[in-house]
Amino acid sequence: MGQRRVFAAWLQVSHGEDAYIAAMFKTKTELRTAGWVIARHGCWTMLKGGFSLNISTPVQFYFETENTTINIWIDSVSLQPFSQQEWKFHQYQNIEKKRKSQVEFQVIDYEDNPIANAKISLKQIKQAFPFGNAMSEAIMNHKAYESWFTSRFKYTVFENEMKWYYNEKHPRQENYSVPDAMLKFAQKHKITVRGHNILWDDPRYTPSWVRNLTKHELSLATGRRINSILKRYSGKLIHWDVMNENMHFSLYEDRIGRNASAVFLKKAHKLDKKALPFLNEYNTIERPRDPSATATKYLDKIKQIRKQGYHGPLGIGLEGHFAVPNLPYVRASIDMLAATDLPIWITELDVSHTQNESVYLEQVIRELHAHPAIHGILLWAAWKPPKGCWRMCLTDTNFNNLPTGDAVDKIIREWRHEGFVGTTDSDGYFKTSLFHGIYKAGIRLSTGQNSEKIKKLFEVKPTMEEDENTIIRFRVHA
């Protein structure tokens, strides 16, 4: 993917109202967007973005806005290049600091003498970082799908089965039988579920009978919808996408009132205190050219919702429907959103089908996992016969991995430390770095004596200091 560049600048407008400004760069063959900012008069605002170039070529930078009456003032422009090796090293540093901790194993006998050359094996019981995949109702009646999914994922979201158009195709005729069964399936396999979604601001994906309701009727219908689904699943889900895509679309704001999102969030949180309410949007990190839901617009929407009266907990949902990923833009956008200190989840991650689909998928997962502000990642690869998947599949119809599935399995094996074996030194110690989670460790002595029964369950947690170790001590009969 060539050299990556991180771009930053401080902007201000000469007078008048705030201006929405894009930083653009132009080569001989293409025009791209590097970042966005809402610039104001009387104060400086930072624009942060980035881009990748596959070739060495002159680049022309300029700033674009629809407001033709203002002057744009620019200061402290920075363009920092990174090689692929430098970029990966930064990911590695973040992972070691945020996702892993140092663990020190000590093997001694009952007289406190160190045991050298003891073999330490690990099995991860539970991974701390939430990584999952969407599922469809087909999983309940397809053993191969069930086996493939449950061996890999402990987090899920239902692709369509909790959406309003699925639950209430006709007014006041609700049917939750499918999501009820799917939730029981998830609970049986100890899979954590996030809810998607209560209300969708895109009129194309609301029940057909909802679209022509009067303002009063729509207000009543949305109230019934929120009450119905939240009371039914209260306490059973970790999240709810309360408002889906309310930056690209505005059905409820246009028909009920500009504060509709704030009102719905407040109602949802009141009915289910355990589920974190989310906004959920696409193209915030995927497509720099889309101006509707950039990180800048997302921050502005959150400020608006706060001003309109919702001050409760809130999560930032980033769908993540990628084509060719622009990793510097991804990182810069998440950096901006991280300033809110709100939980950020990747909620619907997939990559469009191209020759490099699996390569891009692995690149994106690694970039997102390495960012300290990301709290979890869910793939959007639910399988639904006969069509397969919405955009990205991980397997064929017989549940043999596609290259995308191989990429995911490679990452899962790495995060689980599959095949891990360590050997104690002459002082009986073995030190390593492990991903946060719950593990079972086993010991085998070098003498050939089978000591596999000597096992210990332990948890690797974040530590206060980088050089702080978790110490796991084994006493064995030498």
- Residue tagged 């617009």 (tokens): 297
Q: Which residues contact 280 (CB under 8 A, 6 or more apart)?
A: 196, 197, 241, 243, 244, 245, 317, 318, 319, 347, 348
Helix 295-307 to helix 327-338 angle (10° resolution) is 20
Is residue 179 helix, strand or coil? Answer: helix
Q: What is the DSSP letter of 95?
A: I
Q: Which residues contact 23 (CB under 8 A, 6 or more apart)?
A: 7, 9, 33, 34, 35, 36, 37, 47, 49, 61, 63
Q: What are phi and psi of 176, to 5 degrees?
A: -110, 15
Active site residue 286: no
Active site residue 245: yes
The catalytically annotated residue of 137, 159, 161, 245 is 245
Phi-psi region of 417 (alpha: psi -120 to 50; beta: other; left: phi over 0): left
Q: What gap in Å lies between CA 10 and CA 2, rounded to an integer? A: 27
Q: Which amino acid is it at 283? A: N
Q: What gap in Å lies between CA 2 and CA 112, rounded to an integer? A: 54
Phi-psi region of 117 (alpha: psi -120 to 50; beta: other; left: phi over 0): left
DSSP string, 33-84: EEEEEEEBTTB-EEEEEEEEESS----EEEEEES-TTSPEEEEEEEEEEE-H
Strands 239-244 and 276-281: parallel
The catalytically annotated residue of 137, 159, 168, 348 is 348
Q: What gap in Å lies between CA 475 and CA 478, rounded to an integer? A: 9
List the catalytic residues.
Answer: 245, 348
